[in-house]
């Protein structure tokens, strides 16, 4: 059974710092992996989608990597800003399965 | 109006009430989803619709009844809910149904069952 774990559950860093959020999954047989952002009281915003054949995806200050064999993904945020404060969710789609399995998220707080 | 919208944003209901959640997408997508987000739990996929046909039902209790009258609208009918059903219910849509495409989420409906 596929399980997705995100560590840490919460993180506070000063503005301007680079940071890394971690995601691990138990079964490497995945179709793709997504990173989402959720602001308080709002829905999810998709940040990056990495197909299983890809190693990384970049969008602006965000870079997501995927190491399928080790069951790990990281979301790197460069030059963090207070507006980056949100909960970041990692989700995988297992091979041969029409569903997405989410982690519990990492609550990120960027200190001004 | 663009994107994915959900109404109502907040709903409080008793265990004997019947209510419905509404989702509308203005993106021309073919797939729509209902998710449940409970406190301290991972996001859970409830239902998937592709071209108005249900393709996924993740063992959701029958007190939750989805309806997809067309590719732009998705409803979640609620009846005789339990307090543990209190959660944030999120709707999403994507171009295709096989999860290769990015999903776009609505703001969610915060449901409280008394």
For residue B85, what are the CA distances in angstroms to A47, A51, B29, B81, B111? Answer: 28, 33, 28, 6, 8
The whole-number mean pLDDT for each consecutive block of 10 residues of chain B, a chain of 114 residues, reads 86 92 94 87 82 74 93 95 94 76 84 94
Task: Kindly tell me if the per-residue pLDDT of A20 is higher than 90.
Answer: yes
d(CA B108, CA B85): 14
Helix, strand or coil for residue A47? strand
Residues of B whose CB is below 8 A from A44: 43, 90, 92, 103, 105
Mutation for A interface: B38, B94, B101, B102, most A CBs within 10 A: B102
Mutation for B interface: A23, A44, A94, most B CBs within 10 A: A44
The answer to whether B90 faces chain A, any CB pair under 8 Å, is yes
3-state SS string over A63-108?
Answer: EEEEECCCCEEEEEECCCCHHHCEEEEEEEEECCCCCCEECCCEEE
Closest CA to B28 of B109, B107, B104: B104
Task: Kindly tell me if the per-residue pLDDT of A109 is higher than 90.
Answer: yes
For B47-62, the pLDDT digits (tens) are: 888 877 777 666 789 9
From A31, A44, A45, residue closest to B99, measured CB to CB? A31
Per-residue confidence (pLDDT) for residue B2, from 0 to 100 = 64
Closest CA to A107 of B1, B51, B39: B39
Question: Highest mean pLDDT range out of A7-16, A40-49, B52-61, B100-109?
Answer: A7-16
B99 and A101 in contact by Cβ < 8 A?
no
d(CA A68, CA A54): 9
């Amino acid at each position: 059974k596929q399980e997705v774990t995100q560590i840490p559950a919460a993180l506070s860093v000063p503005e301007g710092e680079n940071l890394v959020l971690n995601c691990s999954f138990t079964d490497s047989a995945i179709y793709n992996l997504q990173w989402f952002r959720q602001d308080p009281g709002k829905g999810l915003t998709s940040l990056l989608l990495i197909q299983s054949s890809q190693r990384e995806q970049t969008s602006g200050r965000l870079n997501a990597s995927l190491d399928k064999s080790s069951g790990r993904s990281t979301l790197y945020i460069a030059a963090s800003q207070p507006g980056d404060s949100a909960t970041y969710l990692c989700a995988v789609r297992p091979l041969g399965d029409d569903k997405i399995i989410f982690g519990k998220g990492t609550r990120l707080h960027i200190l001004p | 109006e663009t994107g994915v919208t959900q109404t109502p944003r907040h709903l409080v209901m008793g265990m004997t009430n019947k209510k419905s959640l509404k989702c509308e997408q203005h993106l021309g997508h073919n797939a729509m989803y209902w998710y449940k987000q409970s406190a301290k739990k991972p996001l859970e996929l409830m239902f998937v619709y592709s071209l108005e046909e249900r393709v996924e039902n993740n063992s959701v209790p029958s007190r939750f009844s989805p309806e997809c009258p067309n590719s732009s609208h998705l409803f979640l009918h609620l009846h005789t809910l339990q307090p543990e059903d209190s959660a944030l219910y999120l709707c999403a849509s994507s171009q295709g149904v096989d999860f290769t495409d990015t999903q776009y989420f609505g703001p969610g409906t915060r449901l409280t069952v008394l």
